[in-house]
A = this chain, B = another copy of it.
């Protein structure tokens, strides 16, 4: 991940976009989504414009409507696209075989790197809470479900406690989101992402108490 190009790399399979059938069409769609990331990230949803997106993408204004019906539609598609990118970043960081705890560490590490390279993701996802609440909720419910799947797999393997629930998955997701906000987006202060993922790992591995209480 770390040294890759700075555009979001997931394949666009976003809802609300009219799926292109040609390779050229897919490239144009990708350009529009990448340009929308910058336009929405810099200006916010309300100030952002379709012409701003097409100008940044180097695409004719009319072509926009080949792919999306409206500014709302490309915003929704972008949230789904970012969800997919986050998933992919976490997956890319996991190389089997790995213990269940190491998978969590690497998934966080992958996310932290992704967020460091795509700082606009927080602004866009967070703005979805206002612009498109259903997308916002789906984004987090989908991630939590994925984390819960990993927890249940770990529990079945005997690596994780058998009593882990959906609440634990939301707790882990919240940890990861706020560590990203603090260390990938706001200020690293020379703190390394390894320090951050090690801190989270130690919390998951043994809690914060000196002895099991």
Using CB atoms and an 8 Å cutoff, list the residues of chain A in contact with chain B. Answer: 44, 46, 99-101, 123, 126-127, 129-130, 137, 140, 144, 151, 154, 158-161, 163-165, 167-168, 170-179, 181-183, 186, 191, 195-196, 199-200, 202-210, 212-213
> CB < 8 Å: which of B129, B170, B191, B199 contacts A179?
B170
Distance between A137 CB and nearest chain B CB, rounded to angstroms: 7
In the complex, what distance in Å separates the CA atom of A75 from the CA atom of B202? 39
- Contact between chains at B161 and A210 (CB < 8 Å): yes
Copies of this chain, whole number: 2
- Across the interface, A205 reaches (CB within 8 A) one of B99, B123, B140, B212, namely B212
Give CA–CA (A42, B160) in the complex, Å. Answer: 42
Residues of B within 8 A of A163 (CB): 202
27 example contacts (A-B, Cβ-Cβ < 8 A) are as follows: A46-B46, A99-B213, A101-B208, A101-B213, A123-B129, A126-B130, A154-B208, A161-B209, A164-B208, A167-B179, A167-B191, A167-B195, A167-B196, A170-B175, A170-B178, A170-B182, A171-B203, A174-B176, A174-B177, A174-B179, A174-B181, A177-B178, A203-B203, A203-B204, A204-B209, A206-B207, A206-B212
- Of the candidates B140, B168, B210, which one forms a contact with A159 in the assembled complex, judged by CB atoms under 8 Å apart? B210
Q: Which residues of B contact A209 (CB under 8 A)?
A: 100-101, 159-161, 204-206
- B213 A199 Cβ-Cβ under 8 A: no
For A212, what are the chain B residues with a Cβ–Cβ distance below 8 Å?
205-206
